[in-house]
Amino acid sequence: MMIPSTIGIKLADGSFCPVIMTGTRYPSTLQLTTVHNNQQKIRVDVLIETAQRVDYLDSLTIDHLESKTAGMPTIELQMSFDDNNNLQARIVDLDSKYRQELCIPHELYAKKTSLSFFETVKRTKIIKKIYEIWFGVAISALITFFSWILGKQFPIIGASVIALVTGMILALVWKNKGKAIAGLKFTANELLQATVIFLGFGMDINGIFKTGKEALPIIICTIIVSQLLAFILYKSIHLSANIAILIGTGFAVGGGGAIAFIAPIIAADNEDIAQTISVIFLFNILSALFFPTLAQLIGVSTVNGEPFGLFAGTAIHNISAAATAASSWDTLWGLGSQALDKTITVKLTRTLTIIPITFAILGGRFFLGNRQHPQQKTDFKKVFPLFIIYFLVVSGITTLLVRHGLNPKIFAPFKVLSNFFLVMSMAAIGLNSNMIALIKSGIKPLLLGACCWISIAAVTLFMQKSMGIW
């Protein structure tokens, strides 16, 4: 297989300078010069660059240059291909007219651009991606198998929580994760999104929209409470405006995704983002660990998973923590995936509220005259949760197939796979945790986080009780 390539030279700093593409019918000329004073010799290494590597072909040399200041002598390089596709290259000292030429046969440089079948496969994007992430994914999978076994023995805790805590403990001693970092990020992000998509198998899309409509009043109230608290504490304890907005939005909508959406709009710096994510991570952990116990103590139904699913979806700000809590609840009371299905649906509805919140923040900053920092452009394609669309498409296909007679039990393996991916994501999130950043975040962001966390949970439970949901 022939792959596109470029013929060029190596510059003095070792970098590759392209001159001519293989197969080009017109000559290409480049002006060169010396890099040292009184330089007596110049050597030009001819190289070929393919998609993945740069190879040496041959060299051109001129000796006995006139002694001049660096940059003064001019050397002309010309490259072209003859009728047989042989590479013709020459350099000329324009002062002395001395020249050297060489011819590189087509067969010689063509070998550099030929790949075997296995080399071609190795260079595909998917294989390169696998090579990049395999180690981090494998570590997460090992923790998952360990947690899955323990979760069966201690259902009151659940595999997801065990994986999360195990990852956090390992993160305290495993400082330099090296080549595992890419795989851990993939598992914590892309694999978590796959968890949501796989949950769409076996779910009725009409029920999804019904759940979203049912949860919307509670979601709106929690958003108002979170943003109001952020504004009050911003004023009363002189908290940074950017941190107040990020924490208020993170708790109101959905953790890291909301922060990624809002941060460039308000020109938040890396320190603001790090502090906010650390605070939200802490309360994610607390929610996943304690909300199932809290729900049991106050009498949330244990025979139907939907009340707790609605509570977790509206009161827990991050989709991973909400799914972990719901999964623990389902395991504890033998509810299959009732709570988890409900939680995911509510969380997806809640995530979409980032769009009106963004416009509200932009409007508020404009009318209040807060123009201290130039607003940056948000890359909507990068931060918009497209997995929501995939989830709805999968649910729609499932609904259509079931209505045409397909047995819903055929989708059961997808539920198991979804739960396994969830546990893997929790392991990776735990391994990615940074408790040092949390300690450095200070008391004020933690205070705002605690107020938002407690208030949102209280409002959610109060509204559910008032609506007769439990």
CATH class of 6-122: mainly beta
Which residues lie closer than 8 Å to 190 by C-beta, 6 or more apart?
none
| Alpha-carbon span 151 to 424, nearest angstrom | 13
Residue that the structure tokens 């004020």 belong to: 444
CA proximity to 147, closest of 130, 160, 134: 160
| Alpha-carbon span 332 to 157, nearest angstrom | 8
Domain segments of the chain: what residues?
A: 6-122, 125-466
CA proximity to 32, closest of 72, 76, 69, 68: 76
Largest separation between any pair of C-alpha atoms in the chain:
96
CA proximity to 48, closest of 101, 2, 13: 2
Which residues lie closer than 8 Å to 262 by C-beta, 6 or more apart?
245, 246, 249, 268, 354, 357, 358, 361
Torsion angle defined by CA atoms of residues 351, 354, 356 and 358, in that order, rounded to the nearest 10 degrees: 180
| Alpha-carbon span 75 to 73, nearest angstrom | 7
> Which residue ranges in the chain fall short of pLDDT 70?
1-4, 51-52, 73, 112-123, 155-156, 255-257, 260-261, 264, 270, 274, 362-385, 435-441
How much is the CA Rg of the chain, to the nearest whole Å? 30
H helices within 117-204, ranges in order? Answer: 117-122, 125-153, 159-173, 181-199
Residue 251 gets which letter from DSSP? I
- Interhelix angle 319-333/181-199, rounded to 10 degrees, is 60
* pLDDT computed for residue 73 by the predictor: 67
* pLDDT computed for residue 1 by the predictor: 47
Q: Six-digit token pair at 395?
A: 């649910």
Which residues lie closer than 8 Å to 57 by C-beta, 6 or more apart?
7, 46, 47, 48, 87, 104, 108, 109, 112
* pLDDT computed for residue 373 by the predictor: 45
- 233 CB-contact burial (10 Å; exposed 0-12 / middle 13-18 / buried 19+): buried
H helices within 200-252, ranges in order? Answer: 205-236, 241-249
Which residues lie closer than 8 Å to 322 by C-beta, 6 or more apart?
287, 312, 313, 316, 343, 344, 347
Torsion angle defined by CA atoms of residues 360, 363, 365 and 367, in that order, rounded to the nearest 10 degrees: -140
Angle, alpha carbons 451-454-459 (nearest 5°): 115
Q: Six-digit token pair at 236?
A: 């009363």
pTM (global) more than 0.85: no
Report the phi/psi class of residue 295: left, alpha or beta, with left for phi > 0 and alpha for psi in -120 to 50: alpha
Torsion angle defined by CA atoms of residues 407, 340, 224 and 237, in that order, rounded to the nearest 10 degrees: -160
